[in-house]
């Protein structure tokens, strides 16, 4: 189903079919009964991005069909987005349409929002942005009570904040997250909250320390910090690392060491192949961690062979995946040493074929 063909009346039907297909793919691993977590049918995405299409005096948000890439499809409404984005879209379009300074050579708009109502808008241009642009943008930001970022080649002008904050309740605790513009964030806020709680519940009997790869903005790090003695969390993206450090500080989490390392570098460090200056700033030497578990939330490509071997060293493995195909490929290796203890599917991407999968494995 194309993004502009949303049919909320069909959501349950599509979700049930997606669940059946996902479950079939894991039968080969003698998986336990899966848990399933649906999404709201509308108003679930915290981010939305559109091209701006200029046609005479008219201006519209548009998307493109990959099958007809030269034909812009006007987007009048976008029901997938959180309500604050849906409310801001027509107001912003009217404001920009009637303002030559903001309209000229504007080619893309990106929205980010929180359930609390805060909105961040990024306006991307094919021209330099000057003081007059900033003056006009400030007027609209004030009138609409939102933050605006102007971007052009080698320029970034920030009016207000370049981040949004969202809160999730995990167990009985509220965790507060800051996500920066143009950095990775779980797109479906309601499903993300379900994912956090599922992982938290499956860590009920946790002990020792945890190694976390691909920690992003600390999405899973914050709730898991209450379950483990210490966490060594690693992330390679600068913007995500910045957000994770801020989120640890905001939530007064002090038992996490966060280091900018790739998964490949973690393999080298733990194997003693290479020393990293960054690891010398840990709260304790690397060999003093008593790792009992590892948590991974890798990119769509999954775990490479060496990282998969590293993960197999740990008694417990938490694996969250946005690509069931690469997860199943990794499980071919991981289930040689571990058995599948828990399985869950999350509808992070409604109305698409994509499904978020999560497993917990214990050493056999």
Instruction: Sort 242 into a burial class: Cβ within 10 Å, 0-12 / 13-18 / 19+.
Output: middle
223-239 burial code (b ≥16 CB/10 A, e <16): bbbebbebbbbbbbbeb
C-beta atoms surrounding 280 within 10 Å: 9
- Active site annotation includes 356: yes
pLDDT tens digits, the chain, 364 residues: what are they? 677 778 999 999 999 999 999 999 999 998 899 999 999 999 999 999 999 999 988 999 999 988 888 899 999 999 999 999 999 999 999 999 999 999 999 999 999 999 999 999 999 999 999 999 999 999 999 999 999 999 999 999 999 999 999 999 999 999 999 999 988 899 999 999 999 999 999 999 999 999 999 999 999 999 999 999 999 999 999 999 999 999 999 999 999 999 999 999 998 998 888 888 888 889 999 999 999 999 999 999 999 999 999 999 999 999 999 999 999 999 999 999 999 999 999 999 999 999 999 999 999 9
Which of 143, 322, 325, 362 is the catalytic position?
Answer: 322
According to the 3-state scheme, what is the secondary structure of 287-327? HHCCEEEEEECCCCCCCCHHHHHHHCCCCEEEEEECCHHHH
Cα separation of 324 and 326, whole Å?
6
Domain boundaries, the chain: 3-41+187-363, 47-163
pTM: 0.94
Cα separation of 204 and 318, whole Å?
13
pLDDT of residue 115: 96
Both tokens assigned to 81: 């987005």
pLDDT of residue 69: 85
- Active site annotation includes 212: no
pLDDT of residue 5: 78
Which of 212, 235, 246, 356 is the catalytic position?
Answer: 356
pLDDT in tens, 34-85: 999 999 999 999 999 999 999 988 999 999 988 888 899 999 999 999 999 9
Torsion angle in degrees (nearest 10) through CA of 88, 89, 92, 93: -160
Q: Which CATH class is domain 47-163?
A: mainly beta
Cα separation of 350 and 40, whole Å?
9
CATH of 3-41+187-363, one of 3.40.50.1220, 3.40.50.150, 3.40.50.300, 3.40.50.2300: 3.40.50.150
């Amino acid at each position: 189903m194309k993004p502009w063909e949303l049919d909320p009346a069909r959501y349950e039907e599509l979700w049930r079919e997606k669940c059946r297909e996902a479950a079939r793919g894991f039968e080969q691993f003698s998986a336990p009964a899966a848990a399933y977590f649906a999404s709201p049918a509308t108003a679930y995405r915290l981010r939305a991005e559109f091209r701006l299409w200029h046609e005479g005096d008219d201006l519209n948000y548009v998307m493109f069909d990959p099958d007809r890439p030269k034909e812009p499809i006007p987007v009048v409404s976008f029901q997938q987005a959180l309500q604050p984005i849906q409310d801001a879209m027509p107001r912003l379009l009217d404001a920009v349409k009637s303002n030559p300074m903001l309209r000229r050579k504007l080619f893309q708009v990106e929205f980010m929002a929180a359930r609390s109502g805060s909105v961040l808008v990024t306006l991307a241009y094919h021209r330099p942005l000057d003081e007059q642009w900033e003056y006009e943008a400030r007027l609209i930001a004030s009138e609409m009570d939102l933050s605006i970022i102007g971007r052009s080649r080698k320029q970034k002008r920030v009016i207000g904040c370049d981040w949004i904050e969202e809160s999730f309740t995990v167990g009985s605790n509220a965790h507060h997250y800051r996500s920066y513009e143009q950095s990775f964030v779980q797109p479906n806020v309601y499903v993300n909250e379900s994912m956090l709680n599922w992982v938290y519940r499956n860590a009920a009997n946790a002990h020792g320390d945890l190694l976390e790869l691909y920690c992003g903005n600390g999405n899973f790090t914050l709730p898991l910090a209450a379950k483990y003695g210490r966490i060594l969390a690693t992330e390679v993206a600068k913007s995500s690392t910045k957000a994770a450090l801020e989120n640890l500080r905001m939530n007064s989490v002090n038992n996490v060491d966060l280091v900018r390392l790739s998964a490949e570098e973690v393999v080298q460090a733990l194997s003693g192949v290479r020393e990293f200056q960054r690891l010398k700033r840990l709260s304790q030497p690397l060999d003093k961690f008593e790792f009992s578990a590892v948590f991974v939330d890798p990119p769509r490509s999954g775990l490479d062979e060496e990282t998969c071997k590293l993960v197999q060293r740990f008694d417990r493995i938490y694996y969250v995946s946005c690509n069931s195909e690469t997860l199943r490929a990794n499980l071919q290796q991981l289930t040689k040493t571990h058995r599948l203890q828990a399985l869950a599917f999350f509808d992070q991407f409604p109305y698409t074929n994509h499904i978020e999968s999560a497993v917990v494995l214990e050493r056999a």
